[in-house]
Structure 1
Amino acid sequence: MMSSPFPVALAGTAAPTLMWAHEHEVEPQALQQLRNIASLPWVEGLRVMPDVHLGKGATVGSVIAMRDAVSPNAVGVDIGCGMIGVRTSLTAADLPDDLHAIRTRIEQAVPVGFHAHDEPVDLRRLRPVNGSAGRERLKGADAFWDRFGGLHRTVQQLEARARKQLGTLGGGNHFIELCLDESDQVWLQLHSGSRNIGKELAERHVAIAKTLEHNQRIVDRELAVFLAGTPQMDAYLNDLWWAQEYAARSRAVMMALVVQAVRDSFPEREITFDEGVNCFAGETRVLTGAGIFPIAELAGGIHELLTTGGRWVKAPIMSFGKQRVYEVTVGRYGEEKVIRATGNHRWLLRAKVAHARDEATTQDLRVGDRLAYAFPARVSGMKVDRASVARGFVFGDGSLCGKQTRARAIFCGDKDESLLPYFEGLTTNCVRDYGSVKVLNGFPAEWKTAPVATSSHPDIVYGWLAGYFAADGDVDKSGRPSLSSSRRDHLEAVKALATSIGVGTYGIRTRVRRGIDGRDSELHVMGFMRSDLDLDFFVQDEHRARFATGRGAVERKGWTVRSVEITDDVEEVYCAVVPETEAFTLEDNILTRNCHHNYVKTEQIDGAELIVTRKGAIRAGSGEMGLIPGSMGTGSYVVRGLGNPASFQSASHGAGRRMSRTAAKKRFTVEDLAAQTAGVECRKDAGVVDEIPGAYKDLESVIAAQTDLVEVVARLRTIVCVKG
């Protein structure tokens, strides 16, 4: 395929506008719409995809980068509209000559058009897409619907309808298809959005935006915007993210129903389904507000996850079925760890030089790539709580007594004795002197058996960490602080506590030591980030002096890729679905992408933080997988993004319409529809003439116009198409 002759600049626009289409190919009304968008004072740049055509307010096929503003019509009324594809173990040779029965089964399973389920789909009855895997993806429904009460007050009466429409196709350009790839493997794919509830939410927020003072003088009030930091923007984003999640859940439900319909069509066969998403093996540990846990244990729930900028956000973690995994070995400070992830998982990178790639898939990682990281923001104004210092010291250097119902503090030598003032007033017992050892009794047993809770006041957490560090910590000559313990679980608890107050830690290393009895035992060591501690943290004079004078400590926060290897392991994988930022943090502060595609997010454009919206466009970052569909029955392309910064890392969402629905009905007949969909099992009646392939742009030309934006992975040919 020849290289793309694009982009070309659109003349007469206030903000820089690049197009992956020629002006003569775009209807005049759409060109004027693009100039209207570019005239908004908040727009920093506009990118136009080859599927461009007239839309309401904002043009379909537009990618808009705004500073501190967003236009609801730049997202559209079908919030969260997107694609999902599944490759099956079936081949063309397995299919019957007449595919009508399969289409009928799908249409019976998934309501189309204005229809809905008679009752909300019972998710417990859905058979997973991949054997015992996949069901977790549909869990967390209770927490999701609990958020409905927080949506715009005027949609509260629509909850019952929204529940019944979850897992339904809708109409327009939405579809469910069976396709064949170049090797005659059968794929299932579907295209849908947020149904009526997304439309209702969008229209209400557009109406609100039109009333705002700053929108009264813009060229087209259909482009009315919300400004960052305002209650109106916050309310819109809250509803937007809910609707995007609704759309994603709806596609998951539909795909499970379609899969079951296909299984029922082949009762004698065991069919497997391979979803092309980006996920982690179950043992991968994730940083949460409640601690660090294997991702498999978190599946099905809503959790507080660390995202970009050190912020905590609530998001679901789901199972995405069984997939082949790679092993990624990363290193830092002589420490190595292995993370297992699917080949298409997206990793965020720290560019070594300007304009270097900032993202790569597992299979495209290179030795030496530096992974991005995230640390929680340190709680400001923290002070060391003195009573908590005492408790932390007992945890490290104390013991149980009185039939293990009480705890005591043990002070060995002058260094430990310097902590005695922290214990004043905490017990009525007196210090007992045993030569070089002093003992103080009368503390609760839990002081020795359990750390403080992560939900404790930050001063208490900081003080407890300071006391434990005084007992078992060390500051080397370069000023680098570290904590040692014979029990790894103690350091795991410390890591969680430090994270809860924004104090960074390094990974836990284990070494073998020989005791005075000649036996070997394990000693676990974990370092602290110097920049997150202050002198008050070090209650031992020696520790404080070394920390204050240390100058040689290097603080390396990120991990570097050492190797990437594909394995033969096919197992259940998991990922988070984080709104807005599309990123969450693994153990040891590795920041990574998630599986969900959003249409409003903050991105770095030429060094500036801008709000990017995509309407009729998809994100096509380096290595990101996507589906670009054509029209009714013309198939789709599986593509991999090239991360072209000129397009704001975007590509087309589909072929795009070349005429309106009204024009299509006037121009084409049922006979034309039958001719243009020959060989495809689908509706061929007057009710879908407006979706005829001739009403859309040529898919091959649309793909050819963006060879600098995406590379083709596979071409899918439609054999069954279900329309609303």
Structure 2
Amino acid sequence: MEQKTNYKLHEVANGVPVKMWTNGVPVEDEAQKQLENAARLPIVFKHIAAMPDVHYGIGATVGSVIPTFKAIIPAAVGVDIGCGMMACKTTLNARDLPDNLGPLRSAIEKAVPHGSNPKRMGRDKGSWETPPDETDAAWAKLVDEFDAICEDYPRIKNTNNHKHLGTLGTGNHFIEVCLDEAGAVWFMLHSGSRGVGNAIGTHFIELAKKDAQLHQRNLPDQDLAYFEEGAQYFGDYVRAVGWAQKFARANREVMMQRVVAAARKVITKPFEAHVEAVNCHHNYVSRETHFGQDVLVTRKGAVSAKLGELGIIPGSMGAKSYIVRGKGNPESFMSCSHGAGRTMSRTKAKKLFTVADQIAATEGVECRKDADVIDEIPMAYKDIDAVMDAQKDLVEVVYTLKQVVCVKG
């Protein structure tokens, strides 16, 4: 039986087509142009898949799935390598939470460093001064490979690596306490490879651009510079990006341990966590087989959605989030969206909305409601319900989550 498809086919002159799961959701002209530029690269295999949260990004379009043949585009992976989500279902129910959620939020904020401050302000509040045991244990599994990478690329060593492991970061990174439809309590968080991933991504993007000046004359956008298999930096990048993805996964696991331990200090009822747990990247590259061909698939703001595979699609602060099960749709390279997707820049959101708007939009959520988080206001994002409807041939919803506590980076 043929699988029903829900995409629009966008033909690109001198390039592969773009299949767009964007029925009922807006797409900016700039994002469309970025997709077309990527589609014209000679290394792209078959077509590009655009998810319903697609929007303009630095380097490549956020919400895009780009399969490449024997080549890799560092700027498409980006600098928040391995950024993704983790969610844990607990044995707690809504009635087990305290009436005042302020102390729970405070406990989580104390347990996990978050945010950042300018270098001139002294020690970075978003890193550990003395890493806890959980961080040390996770770093011990990563350090040998990191040291080997640093022998070839010493500038990557002078980064916040060990001291950033188990920390949240800034921007749209968050930790939430959520309730599902049955009232079960979940912990959910969003973060990536922090400063060290940024250093790896930035360094190899620069190398790719220099390489392109020598070998790739007709790039539609210099940010789409790529390494071909067998080239000088290809193997080094694959090794470094693979390590950063391991760091990102471990970062989320350490934070989740810290969040659960913090919650146990505030919630008096004993509980189990990890009843069901999902840990998935949404900014990464992996070797996969599609349409009978071994390819490198870069998901920039997209989640793997193989048949039966669990994933996480968060809304914005104040909106619903979803635990989903993949349908293994081959046309999207077995992928789905990574969230709602922005409809406007952070700068525009800060100009357009006020603290009063933020307070109204996050009513019922224990979270910051000040001028510094207006750029994360729900209205700066696409309607998550429309986004989910546009990809109903890619995933099915298993749980719908609504946050009651939100900690922003």
Same fold (TM over 0.5): yes
Partner amino acid for 1:65? P
Following superposition of structure 1 onto structure 2, how do residues 370-519 of structure 1 map, counting pairs within 5 Å?
none
Instruction: Tell me the equivalent position of 1:235.
Output: 236
Q: Report deviation, 1:98.
A: 1.3
Task: Give the conservation status (yes or no) of the 8 Å contact 1:4–1:704.
Answer: no
The residue that corresponds to 1:224 in the other structure is: 225
Aligned match of 1:196: 195
Following superposition, the deviation at residue 143 of structure 1 comes to 3.9
1:177 aligns with 2:176: yes
Q: Which sits farther off after the overlay, 255-264 or 213-222?
A: 213-222
Inter-CA distance 185–22: structure 2 relative to 1 (3 Å threshold): closer
1:263-282 correspondence runs (5 A) = 263-266=264-267, 268-277=268-277
Supply the distance in 1 between the matched residues of 2:386 and 2:380 (Cα, whole angstroms): 15
Structure-2 separation of matches of 1:143 and 1:5: 43
Q: Residue 19 of structure 1 contacts residue 47 of structure 1 at CA under 8 Å; is this kept in 2?
A: yes
Q: Which residue of 1 aligns with 2:132?
A: 121
Q: 1:58 to 1:194 in 2, by over 3 A?
A: same
TM-score if structure 2 supplies the norm length? Answer: 0.91
Q: Which residue of 2 aligns with 1:146?
A: 144
Deviation for aligned residue 1:659:
0.4
CA contact (8 A) 1:209 1:215 kept: no
**Matching residue's letter, 1:68:** K
- Measure the CA separation in 1 of the matches of 2:177 and 2:224: 38
State the distance in 1 between where 2:184 and 2:242 align. Answer: 35
- Hey, which of these two has a bigger chunk of strand by percent? 1
Q: What residue in structure 1 maps to residue 123 of structure 2? A: none
Query: Is the Cα contact below 8 Å between 2:25 and 2:52 reproduced in 1?
Result: no
The Cα of 1:163 is off from its aligned counterpart by 1.0
- The alpha-carbon deviation at position 172 of structure 1 amounts to 1.0
Q: Aligned partners of 1:16 and 1:659: how far apart in 2?
A: 26
Structure 1 residues 112 and 598, CA gap change in structure 2 (3 angstroms) = closer
Determine the C-alpha separation between the residues in 2 that align with 1:162 and 1:658. 33
Q: 1:681 aligns with which of 348, 353, 366?
A: 366
Residue matched to 1:660: 345
Q: Secondary structure at the match of 1:103?
A: helix
Which residue number in structure 2 is paired with residue 165 of structure 1? 164
CA contact (8 A) 1:633 1:720 kept: no
CA shift digits 1:521-543 (9 cap, x unpaired): xxxxxxxxxxxxxxxxxxxxxxx
Contact 1:4–1:706 (CA under 8 A) maintained in structure 2: no
Given residue 652 of structure 1, which amino acid in structure 2 is its aligned partner?
S
**1:119-152: CA deviation from partner (whole Å, max 9, x where unpaired):** 122228xxxxxxxxxxxxx846324112222222
Residue aligned with 2:167, SS: coil
- Give, in angstroms, the shift of residue 238 of structure 1: 1.1
Say which of 302, 309, 315 aligns to 1:624: 309
Task: Name segments (4+ residues, structure 1) moved above 3 Å.
Answer: 138-141, 595-598
TM-score normalized by structure 1? 0.52
Residue 427 (structure 1) aligns with: none
* Amino acid in the other structure paired with 2:210: T
Query: 2:216 is matched by which residue type in structure 1?
Result: N
Unaligned runs of 5+ in 1: 125-137, 279-319, 321-594
Aligned partners of 1:717, 1:140: CA distance in 2, in Å? 30
Cα deviation 1:375-428 (Å, max 9, x = unaligned): xxxxxxxxxxxxxxxxxxxxxxxxxxxxxxxxxxxxxxxxxxxxxxxxxxxxxx
Distance change (3 Å), C-alpha of 1:250 and 1:648: same
- Secondary structure of the structure 1 residue equivalent to 2:158: helix
Residues 90-109 of structure 1 show CA distances to partners (whole Å, capped at 9, x for unaligned) of 11111122111100110011
1-side partners of 2:25 and 2:242: how far apart? 37
User: How far, CA to CA, are the matches of 1:269 and 1:23 in structure 2?
Assistant: 44
Compared CA separation, residues 164 and 275, structure 1 to 2 (3 A): farther
Residue matched to 2:122: none
Query: In structure 2, how many angstroms separate the alpha carbons of the residues matched to 1:165 and 1:620?
Result: 29
Q: Distance in 1 between matches of 2:338 and 2:330?
A: 17
1:65 Cα deviation after fit: 0.9
Q: Which gives a bigger RCO, structure 1 or 2 (Cα 8 Å, sep 6+)?
A: 2
Q: Please say if 1:634 is aligned against 2:333.
A: no
1:253-402 correspondence runs (5 A): 253-266=254-267, 268-277=268-277
Return the alpha-carbon distance in structure 2 between the equivalents of residues 23 and 88 of structure 1: 35
Amino acid aligned to 1:145:
V
- Aligned-pair distance for 1:62? 0.3
Partners of 1:162 and 1:704 in 2: how far apart?
39
What letter corresponds to residue 673 of structure 1 in structure 2?
A: Q
Match of 2:98 among 75, 96, 99: 96
1:678-724, CA deviations, whole angstroms, 9 ceiling, x for partnerless residues? 11100000010000000011111111110000000010011000001
Shift of 1:598: 8.0
Asked whether 1:723 is paired with 2:405, we answer no
Kindly indicate whether residue 154 of structure 2 is the aligned counterpart of residue 156 of structure 1: no
Q: Does 1:650 align with 2:335?
A: yes
Which digits, 9 at most, give the CA deviation of each residue in 1:281-319, with x for residues without a partner?
xxxxxxxxxxxxxxxxxxxxxxxxxxxxxxxxxxxxxxx
Distance 1:230 1:598 in 2: 23
Aligned-CA RMSD value: 2.0
Partner of 1:690: 375
- Equivalence for 2:393: 708
- Cα distance, 1:210–1:596 mapped onto 2, change above 3 Å: closer
- Return 5+ residue gaps in structure 2 as ranges: 117-125
Give the Å deviation of 1:5. 7.0
Q: SS state of the match for residue 688, structure 1?
A: helix
Structure 1 pair 11–57 and aligned structure 2 pair: CA distance change class (3 A): same
Partner AA of 1:723 in structure 2: K
Q: CA deviation at 1:112?
A: 0.8
Partner of 1:435: none
Name the residue aligned to 1:65: 67
Distance (Å, rounded) in 2 between the aligned partners of 1:121 and 1:183: 35
Aligned-residue offset at 1:623 = 0.2
Identity of aligned pairs, percent? 49
Alpha-carbon distance change, 713 to 94 in structure 1, aligned in 2, over 3 angstroms:
same
Q: CA deviation at 1:11?
A: 3.1
Q: Secondary structure at the match of 2:142?
A: helix
Task: Tell me how far 1:162 sits from its aligned partner.
Answer: 1.4
Which secondary structure state, in structure 1, belongs to the residue aligned with residue 274 of structure 2? strand
In 2: Cα distance, 1:149 partner to 1:87 partner: 36
CA distance in 1, matches of 2:189, 2:327: 24
Secondary structure of the corresponding residue to residue 347 of structure 2 = helix
Q: 1:184 to 1:57 in 2, by over 3 A?
A: same
For the residue of structure 2 that corresponds to 1:157, the secondary structure is coil
Report Cα offsets for 1:599-649 as digits up to 9, x if no partner.
212222222211111000011000000110001131310100000001110
In 2, distance between residues paired with 1:618 and 1:659? Answer: 22
Residue identity opposite 2:337 in structure 1:
S
